[in-house]
Structure 1
């Protein structure tokens, strides 16, 4: 059986803006939708609210630095055939850095980690699919407006920059903003319909990359 690792933030965790922090039902989260579409493939959902590509968040308890945690995740789940990286929205917070170029560099660092990791048990680096998150949209939620100040414009640039780094490094690329959009309830997260759309749209891409 082939294994797909979905490494992401709250969009992968299944954050439900309608409930103010609960989770979408398990079958509606995009990794679950992807698994249902692929059939006999092990799809592992490794999502954490607030996770960044490669940067610290000093305001939280659990480590949100995606680059620091990734080696542990890789060793935990090896062998992995495909790693899907869906990160970058939290990088757009001014308190993190708010710079799409730095998010691109963070993604490049994650690629480097996957390819250079010392895998236990004779494991080896997986193929990699970079997924650009849907851009941040305007919201009347004052808290999220301040948390992601400037994020509407900066997040619009992520897809182009991620496509560049994918081409530079020989990774797959998918722009989730082409099939899904964030809910205006908080401007960042996805409702059930849109999170399902990501899983559905990724299925043919993943089939091709896994040669199913």
Structure 2
């Protein structure tokens, strides 16, 4: 059975922009992708998660670098790790720049490639997904005052990074857009669209 780890933040968890509750299971992109492919997709989304930076304002550790090795080992064997992170890195209090998020993403890819799988499993492939850019909300700014221009810079920087590291890239902004309700999170249709949009690149990557 093909097994995929979906590693992300609130966009993977399924945060509803109108009230912060979770979208129904049928709209969550890992579930949509699993249904399209007929494989197991393990959803590991956490609201506020960053690529590689500490943010002690939340209720738990949200630094992706600190938890990814644990998840890689607990979910062995894995065929693919999909990483969609970076939006929270762009909070001014975290790092605030697309270059900072890209540096964090590089470290996450390195962790997947170099983890001590100890012969239990082959090294999984990696697919880096650029999250949809933020938009201006009704109050004239995005949640946590992210710079919208910086969010648009993630996709090209991530694509350049993946080419240099020999892993795959996909831009979720080609099928989904942030809700104007808060400027960051996705409505149900956009959340599901990411799962549907990932079907073709994942099929090609895993030859399924």
TM norm structure 2? 0.97
Deviation, 1:105, is 0.7
Distance in 1 between residues matched to 2:137 and 2:142, nearest whole Å: 7
1:49-198 equivalences under 5 Å are 49-120=47-118, 122-141=120-139, 145=142, 147-150=144-147, 152-198=148-194
Distance in 2 (CA, whole Å) between partners of 1:17 and 1:141 is 14
SS in 2 for 1:129: strand
Q: Distance in 2 between matches of 1:131 and 1:149?
A: 19
Match of 2:22 in 1: 23
Kindly indicate whether the alpha-carbon contact (under 8 Å) linking 2:143 and 2:184 is maintained by their aligned counterparts in 1. Answer: no
> Secondary structure of the equivalent of 1:23?
coil
| Gap regions ≥5 residues in structure 2 | none
Moved segments of 4+, more than 6 Å: none
Cα deviations by residue, 1:110-137 (Å, 9 ceiling, x for unpaired): 0110111112562232100000000010
Q: 1:141 offset after TM fit, Å? A: 4.4
Q: How many residues end up aligned between the 2 structures?
A: 208
Q: 2:196 aligns with which of 193, 200, 205?
A: 200
Q: Secondary structure at the match of 1:156?
A: helix
Q: Which residue is equivalent to 2:33?
A: 34
- Aligned 8 A contact 1:78 1:120 in 2: no
- Tell me, what secondary structure is at the counterpart of 2:142? helix
Task: Calculate the TM-score normalised by the size of structure 1.
Answer: 0.95
SS state of the match for residue 170, structure 2? strand
- Cα distance in 1 for residues equivalent to 2:137 and 2:10: 18
Where structure 1 has 5 or more consecutive residues not aligned to the other structure, the ranges are: none
